[in-house]
A and B are shown apart, each in its own frame.
Chain A
Amino acid sequence: MYSLMAAYGVGWAVIMLYLLTLAARQRKLSETLQRMQLGGEERRVQ
């Protein structure tokens, strides 16, 4: 029973960890995109 719980628990943990990695990467990409858009606007104003 404990082995079964461990297997299912670890399996779900891997998926959750991967989802968290995807979310963190998405945040980083969105920040970079925002910075680049701001930089472009600043250059246009100058």
Chain B
Amino acid sequence: MLLAALWWALIGAPTEATMGTIQRIFYYHVPAAAASWTAFLINAAASLAYLKTRSLKADALAVAGAEVGLAFLTINLITGPIWARPVWGVWWEWDPRLTLTLAMWVMYASYLMLRQLTPESDHQPRLAAALAIFFAADIPIDYMAIRWWRTQHPQPVLFGGPDSGLAPRMLAALLLSMAAFLALMGMLLWLRYRQERLSQRLRLARQEQILSAVL
């Protein structure tokens, strides 16, 4: 699926008239954003579930969502400036969409650092879950930023009103790339979730060993 998406992005889709070949970054940049937002939404939903049920499975899913989402957001933040430099003449512009996306990267990086650096306790996942729900507020604002404000970032091509839209072959390339990126995100999420569950089990077993040694 990824190979088919790559073929469509680089060869199958027609070359855009104004920007030329560089516009093909679009088929990588946009699906990476969609995959990261989906992973962060999973993180928020799992955090909410953890606060309600205190389920370790929900906590593991929250960690996986944040980490995988951050990887895809990194791709989005790297490919964006590579596209911007030849088109805008600058690598970066502090417009609402770009600033909110960078803020999102910093938020989820700090979420993961908090989980790594604070000592293991009952409070840590609770604090992380509360933070994750708070951070998730950035997702709809970031999504709507190019609709609410005039930005240097291009206007939406999907669900952007009567003036938006794509040529059929461009749309096919974008949708296939989206599907491929979402499938890859799902696979990475599953791998990371299983790892976190194993790590939780090891932590519990270690605690039991320490307790049995003391008693």
Number of B residues with CB within 8 Å of any CB on chain A = 30
Quick one: which of B79, B82, B199, B206 contacts A29, CB cutoff 8 A?
B199
Residue B144 is within 8 A (CB to CB) of chain A in the complex: no
Residue B115 is within 8 A (CB to CB) of chain A in the complex: no
For chain A residues 24-41, which have a beta carbon within 8 Å of chain B?
A: 25-26, 29, 32-33, 36, 39-40
Q: How many interface residues does chain A have, given as a range?
A: 20 to 34
Task: Report whether A4 and B21 are in contact in the complex, using a CB–CB cutoff of 8 Å.
Answer: yes
Give every chain A residue within 8 A of B11 (Cβ-Cβ).
Answer: none
Task: Report whether B202 and A7 are in contact in the complex, using a CB–CB cutoff of 8 Å.
Answer: no
Q: How far is the CA of A4 from the CA of B79 in the complex (A)?
A: 9
Q: How far is the CA of A26 from the CA of B28 in the complex (A)?
A: 28
21 A-B pairs within 8 Å (CB atoms) are namely A3-B86, A4-B10, A4-B21, A4-B24, A7-B25, A7-B29, A7-B79, A8-B6, A8-B10, A10-B79, A10-B82, A11-B75, A18-B188, A19-B188, A22-B188, A22-B195, A25-B195, A26-B195, A29-B195, A33-B202, A36-B205
**CB closest residue in chain A, given B198:** A29
Known: A3-B82, A10-B82, A18-B71. A36 touches B199 (CB 8 A): no
Give every chain A residue within 8 A of B32 (Cβ-Cβ).
Answer: 11
Give every chain A residue within 8 A of B25 (Cβ-Cβ).
Answer: 3-4, 7-8
Interface of B is mostly: helix
Chain B: residues with CB nearer than 8 A to chain A? 6, 10, 21-22, 24-25, 28-29, 32, 68, 71, 74-75, 78-79, 82-83, 85-86, 184, 188, 191-192, 195, 198-199, 202, 205-206, 209
Q: How far is the CA of A33 from the CA of B209 in the complex (A)?
A: 13
